[in-house]
Amino acid sequence: MKKVPRSEEQFKELLTPDEYAVLREKGTEAPFTGEYIHEKADGTYECKACGNPLFSSDAKFDSGTGWPSFDSALPGAVTTHTDSSFGMSRTEINCARCGSHLGHVFDDGPTPTGKRYCINSVCLDLDAK
């Protein structure tokens, strides 16, 4: 996948301060505050920082955790990394195109994939059908 050649200054100009804090500084939005928690529209969720298609609305489910959750990502859309911050061991999810932080993936999903991609709404745009 072709990478997005943006500097941090360019990301700061493109994103709001809240978006920048989560996407580029690995922050987390407060639970139950995000725009897409209860969204039911069909479409594709894209990276707010670069427009990379990340998740299909068909993969979205209500996890009750306070963040939009998906049971799978689109092929090649995300990368994963071990996140040992805050004394925990989690798997961080990043956009494969621009490297922005999206959230974390857990192995406790209720669908056959067994995955729960827990994603910050502020990191997403919905391209509705």
Q: Which two tokens stand for residue 46?
A: 């894209």
User: Which residues neighbour 20 within 8 Å (Cβ) at sequence distance 6 or greater?
Assistant: 11, 12
Active site residue 118: yes
Closest CA to 81 of 63, 104, 60: 104
By the 10 Å C-beta count (0-12 exposed, 13-18 middle, 19+ buried), 109 is classed as buried
Candidate list 50, 95, 118, 123, residue with the active-site label:
118
Active-site positions read: 118
